[in-house]
Amino acid sequence: MTRYEEIRVAPAVLLVADKAAFFGCGFYGMQDTVGDLVGRHYFQQCFIKGAIDFIWGGGQSIYQSCIIEVMGVTTATASNDEVNRGLIAGYITAQGRGTEKETSGFVFSGCAIFGPGKAFLGRAYGGYSRVVFSNTNMANVIVPQGWDSWTHPKEVNKVTFVEVNCKGPGANKKGRVAWEKNLSPQDVSYFINHKTFLNKDGWIESLPPHLKIFGSELQPFYSPPPF
């Protein structure tokens, strides 16, 4: 476990460019691990580790088949009861979409979430924050509320936080915030499809041809324990 008082901001990567792709990469940290700040980005079969806002920023990104590890955080004053083991909840995402016209958002498709900690799926870093989890396995690390409005409690109708076809004990929606959105199948298809959400100009296909981007050649380099 890591004491909250000892955590410092330490990004593993800061993305401030358009059209960046990562395959089989590892990003390790506690707070602000992946600074997904500006532009379109694609992550496939990557490993991302952290505790607080560890995928954050105003990027427009798809995280495909990625492994997300939630680290444990405690405080000097936290109770050490058997229910929460002294843990305080962190935040996996802090997405910063600021206006309705912005195309940004974080989409997690076919991912897995596990770890020794507890976390919200995300909190609203912007008034129009947008995060979608689709077909993601969630271990018992997600707090029942699921999402946090943070500094935008009066704008939750503008925030788009979505879970679709997710599995595992952490995907139980009992106790979720009442303002979590439900999208139509057409809208979900738009977000999880790289061709519509990220790649209308074909930049992904222009990447080096020796990579089989959407095939099976890339093998996961890390597997979480079953849950």
State residue 223's pLDDT score.
44
CB 12 within 8 A of CB 28: yes
The answer to whether residue 187 is catalytic is: no
Out of 53, 81, 148, 201, pick the active-site residue.
53
pLDDT by 10s per residue, the chain, length 227: 777 677 778 899 999 999 999 999 999 999 899 999 999 999 999 999 999 999 999 999 999 999 999 998 877 665 554 345 678 899 999 999 999 999 999 999 999 999 999 999 999 999 999 999 999 999 999 999 999 999 888 889 999 999 999 999 999 999 999 999 999 999 999 999 999 999 888 898 887 764 454 554 544 444 444 44
The answer to whether residue 148 is catalytic is: no
State residue 187's pLDDT score.
95
Out of 18, 32, 148, 187, pick the active-site residue.
32
Closest CA to 131 of 169, 180, 173: 180
DSSP string of 11-68?
-SEEE-SSSEEEES-EEE-SBS-EEE-SSEEEEES-EEEESEEEEEES-EEEEES-EE
State residue 208's pLDDT score.
73
15: left (phi over 0), alpha (psi -120 to 50) or beta: beta
- List the structure tokens of 97: 């979409």
